[in-house]
Structure 1
Amino acid sequence: MHDGRGFRPEIQGLRGLAVTLVVVFHVWPNVLPGGYVGVDVFFVISGYLITGVLAQMAMRDGRISLIGFYSRRIRRLLPAATLVLLATLCGTLLFVSKARWEETATQIVASAFYVQNWRLASIAVSYLDADSLPSPVQHYWSLSIEEQFYIVWPILMIAVIWLSRRQNVPLRRSLVGALSLVFAGSLIASVVLTEIDPAQAYFVSQTRIWELALGGLLVLTEHRFRLGTFARQSLVIAGVAGIVASATLFSAATPFPGASALLPTFATVLVILAGDVEFGRFRALDSRALRFIGDRSYSVYLWHWPLITFFVAQGISRTLASGIGLIALTIALSDLSYRHVEQRYRKVPTDVWWKPLAYGTLAVLTCGLTSGVLLYALNTESINTALIGTPSYPGPAALLSGTSVPDDVDTLPPLARLKQDVPIVYVSKCHQREGSSKPTRCSLGDPAGARTIVIVGDSHATQWIPALNKIAKDRKLKLVSFTKSACPFSRVAIIENGKRYSSCEEWREEVLVEIIKLKPYMIFTSQSNYGTVPQESMVEGLQNIWSKLTEAGSQIVAIRNTPYMKFDPGDCLSATPTKCFTRRSEAEPSDILALAARTQKNVVVVDMIDALCGPQLCPAVVGNIIVWRDHHHLTASYSLALAPYLALKVGL
């Protein structure tokens, strides 16, 4: 295959260009806002080369040796990938906040088993993780997609070989037909899912496989093209221009992958189709610098992202100087791993077929076991809520009554458990995500309680569930929760990712019916700020829905929105704990609920900000209890500590 051209220096140069785009995008996002398309260039190249290898094997031998193919893939990919994963785990323990260890270890396991893209897809649609910083191994998502392709495509080709023999159809035609179906189906899925759910579409395999299939179709059909020098020169100019234009003109706002990915991928096809082109003395992509980077592109891709995250975790901004230093360190490490790891294991004799498979399995298990031990150790740290309110952990009493706070006491929750200190409804799966409109509820408090209270709203309402659950248990009340991410309990239209959040509107109306059926005597609600909604519209929407509930005999308790911090508490408390605060004047949100309640009967607005902030500052820790799990959600521990003060405010 490959038209008998053997080694393709221009493809190495194309790899160098692609990884350069990715690295520059990650180091200086504003310079190349669409530099992420370098990954799509890699997908096309991989599809082209791998399909070429497999098709050549099939046409030459009439069969595909899975053992031989997988043995070569393991020797090519696993040694460097495993090295970087283990180095990243060590770097995480040294440079990254303890609050991020658990998620990073989880993603290292997912990366080792090449399912990182599915892990990221699952949290990309999780509102709970929407504000989380990227992990040091996030970039393994693209490697996971490629590995999944390497697993599935040879097996599919074996099936095509069998069918072509059975149907007496030429093998090349059968392969083109099969890949065309994969290409078309995946491209349609990519366009549709990118429109419906762009966060998930970016990572899942079915929206990306068409890019690898495109490269496969090229290698199977390129023999039909007989191009002259001028045509090939024109193709390479157009191709490189298309790739660079994508990297320059695209941004985070571009719907991607979807139809937008057609530009960089077909531009890549033009470059590969053009082949090794010369412009006088200028050899286009076959330049020494691009080939040097291209040879090391795999290691460059592996190393650059962990180094960036470690720099950022240390509070180092990505200036021109620090960025150049990052790139230089990346190239140095990549050169070492290329020469001493990639090349060393690629040249291992293949006469004993089982060795690469055994070593590959051992490498994956080593990563999984090492990360698993860390996860086990982290999960042994418990959040002892029984300590809340004791002299060591006075919590809000330190602000409200001046209770003394002892020094040299570990914070509650432990920093390693901060991101997991969430209300029980997240664990119980009855907090609604963005996608679903079907109401789900959690029944909390005292199941035998004679009266019912309800909490309803978005995640800023959800954060009050620990406090309300304790109040309900202590007062023998039933507590029912109806909560949904990014969905205020107000009759307004919410625009999310440029589209109307219709599932929120449907959910809200169904929940309204459910609440009226419950006949609660008190309904608690709160919500985040929704800056895209005009204030008048939000006020009218709140009044509209509150009136329906008060007419049914319920009292509304609207809890004022909580402040917004200008830091991530986990990162800040790990690096500079004495500086983890935001000025109250800068953090205090507008009181939209109070505006809506002015003309409403049987609606009470409760302001708890004095229990979160001092007169001047809003700190990350109050009374040895961490207040914030991220920059705008309370920890479940601090919410629980607020229970007696909230009860006092509402007269329970």
Structure 2
Amino acid sequence: MTQLKRIDGLDGVRAFAVMLVFISHVYIGIPILLGQTWYRVFTRGGYLGVNGFFVMSGFLITYRLLGTAHQDGRFRWRQFYAHRAVRLFPGMFLVLAAHFVYAMIFDYPPLGVVADEWTMVRSTIFQYANWTIYKHPLLLIDNVSLWSLSIEGQFYVLWPAVAYVIFQKTKKPIFGLLILATGITLLIFHRAFVFNDLGWYAAYLRSDTRVESLLLGAIGGFLWLKTDYIKAQFVRVMSIPATICVILTVCYSSADGSYIWRGGMTLFDASVLVIVLALAAGVYPGRKLLMAGPVDWVGRISYGLYLWQIPIFRIIDRHGTTLSSGMRSVLAIGGCFGVSTLSWYALERPVMKSRWAKQLAGG
């Protein structure tokens, strides 16, 4: 494949990924769910929704970088970083600003309001929130989801230069792939050692234990765009066991268990990548489901939904103690989807389509 095109169904994958995270956190606003066996089973692997985003990000970043450089061999650095900034910053800044106002009005947390809010803003803007949360777990409790954006941000800074050297400057990119494959293998063992020595929380938040998901997606992006190694029929067949693997891992692999940190996460990531490749080839058996209207819509607002869910759940938990479970459910679910939809249609999409955004990218 040599031409860039929109991959139908990816918004559907985003929808399922964000709903895994959303449902696993909704108990914060609706505590009664913790008493339901089905809820505890289904949400055991909700944290893996973030892995889905990591794999897709690695794939799409590499796909776009190499795709735009295909005709004349030049990387569009400005275009890449402008696109990332325009896509990510407006929604993120809105959440940070809204929470700052909330913290000032309600004096939350009771001690160190300004200091804590500034720490959150600074660590998010400069892309090290995951390390801040790792060292101070309660400091950013209302915006803990921002940790994953920092890991992606760190990857966005470093990966384009690495990809340029490996895929554009080397005469035989296969050597670069071998280096990356070796690096991923070492990272898998490293993650297991971190889990053994420091526990699951460290393995969950550290950049060096989570970058493997992004790198795996990046390799998939290169293989799909620049080689003939990926065969449509092969990924179609493999996407079926891959889907089964994703479902079973989500249902049976908890974040504090050893399996996921000793190879299970890599198997999950590889399965997600196979599904993405099958969608890119247009042969995924579940493609129509992923492209269905409601699923596609959730995928489009998934970024806002991911950003707003925990702040809204925490606020409901903090101020809605006298409300019935039904009312808390309406506020938690309706509030998240309502604010996320408003963010998408009133802020995120208009900014992306604005003349200013095109000028920033050099278009």
When the two structures are superposed, what TM-score results if normalisation uses the length of structure 1? 0.48
Distance in 2 between residues matched to 1:100 and 1:238, nearest whole Å = 50
Structure 2, unaligned runs of 5 or more: 28-33, 35-39
1:9 maps to which residue?
Answer: 8
Distance in 2 between residues matched to 1:142 and 1:318, nearest whole Å = 33
Distance in 1 between residues matched to 2:117 and 2:17, nearest whole Å = 26
Preserved CA contact (<8 Å) 2:83 2:361: no
1:136 maps to which residue?
Answer: 142
Distance in 1 between residues matched to 2:273 and 2:7, nearest whole Å = 14
Distance in 2 between residues matched to 1:212 and 1:33, nearest whole Å = 22
Preserved CA contact (<8 Å) 1:117 1:144: yes
Q: Does the residue aligned with 2:142 lie in a helix, a strand or coil? A: coil
Counterparts of 1:570-589 in structure 2, within 5 Å, are none
Structure with greater strand percent: 1
Preserved CA contact (<8 Å) 2:239 2:284: no
Alignment of 1:287 onto 2:287:
no
Distance 1:319 1:5, change over 3 A: farther
How far off its partner does 1:237 sit? 3.6
1:79 maps to which residue?
Answer: 90
2:37 maps to which residue?
Answer: none
How far off its partner does 1:155 sit? 1.5
Alignment of 1:61 onto 2:62:
no
State the identity %.
Answer: 25
After superposition, give the CA deviation of every residue in 1:440-465 in whole Å (9 maximum; x if it has no partner): xxxxxxxxxxxxxxxxxxxxxxxxxx
Distance 1:232 1:63, change over 3 A: closer
After superposition, give the CA deviation of every residue in 1:155-175 in whole Å (9 maximum; x if it has no partner): 1123335641xxxx23x4254
Number of aligned residue pairs: give it: 340
Distance 1:214 1:318, change over 3 A: farther
Alignment of 1:264 onto 2:277:
no
1:238 maps to which residue?
Answer: 241
2:221 maps to which residue?
Answer: 219
After superposition, give the CA deviation of every residue in 1:261-307 in whole Å (9 maximum; x if it has no partner): 12321220121122244769x82322222111111111111111111
1:115 maps to which residue?
Answer: 128
Distance in 1 between residues matched to 2:136 and 2:140, nearest whole Å = 11
Preserved CA contact (<8 Å) 2:188 2:266: no
Preserved CA contact (<8 Å) 1:34 1:251: yes
Distance in 1 between residues matched to 2:70 and 2:359, nearest whole Å = 25
1:499 maps to which residue?
Answer: none
How far off its partner does 1:205 sit? 0.8
1:337 maps to which residue?
Answer: 343
Q: Which amino acid aligns with 2:22?
A: V
1:327 maps to which residue?
Answer: 333
1:615 maps to which residue?
Answer: none
2:254 maps to which residue?
Answer: 251
Counterparts of 1:217-616 in structure 2, within 5 Å, are 217-222=219-224, 223-228=228-233, 234-255=237-258, 257-275=261-279, 276-277=282-283, 283-314=288-319, 316=321, 319=325, 322-349=328-355, 352-353=359-360
Higher relative contact order (CA 8 A, sep 6+): 2
How far off its partner does 1:152 sit? 0.2
Identify the match of residue 59 of structure 2 among 48, 51, 63: 48
Q: Does the residue aligned with 2:141 lie in a helix, a strand or coil? A: coil
More moved, 196-205 vs 34-43: 196-205
When the two structures are superposed, what TM-score results if normalisation uses the length of structure 2? 0.84
Higher Cα Rg: structure 1 or 2?
Answer: 1
Distance 1:244 1:62, change over 3 A: same
Q: Which amino acid aligns with 1:68?
A: Q
Distance 1:252 1:48, change over 3 A: closer
Distance 1:300 1:220, change over 3 A: same
Q: Does the residue aligned with 2:111 lie in a helix, a strand or coil? A: helix
Q: Which amino acid aligns with 1:253?
A: D
Counterparts of 1:87-126 in structure 2, within 5 Å, are 87-95=98-106, 96-99=108-111, 101=113, 102-124=115-137
Q: Which amino acid aligns with 1:92?
A: A
Preserved CA contact (<8 Å) 2:45 2:249: yes
Structure with greater helix percent: 2
Preserved CA contact (<8 Å) 1:57 1:64: yes
How far off its partner does 1:220 sit? 1.8
Preserved CA contact (<8 Å) 2:232 2:283: no
Preserved CA contact (<8 Å) 1:43 1:211: yes
Distance in 1 between residues matched to 2:362 and 2:99, nearest whole Å = 26
Distance in 2 between residues matched to 1:308 and 1:272, nearest whole Å = 31
Q: Does the residue aligned with 2:132 lie in a helix, a strand or coil? A: helix
Q: Which amino acid aligns with 2:184?
A: F
After superposition, give the CA deviation of every residue in 1:12-64 in whole Å (9 maximum; x if it has no partner): 10000000000000013635122010000100000000011112233332221
Distance in 1 between residues matched to 2:121 and 2:242, nearest whole Å = 35
1:25 maps to which residue?
Answer: 24
How far off its partner does 1:213 sit? 0.6
Distance in 1 between residues matched to 2:262 and 2:85, nearest whole Å = 31
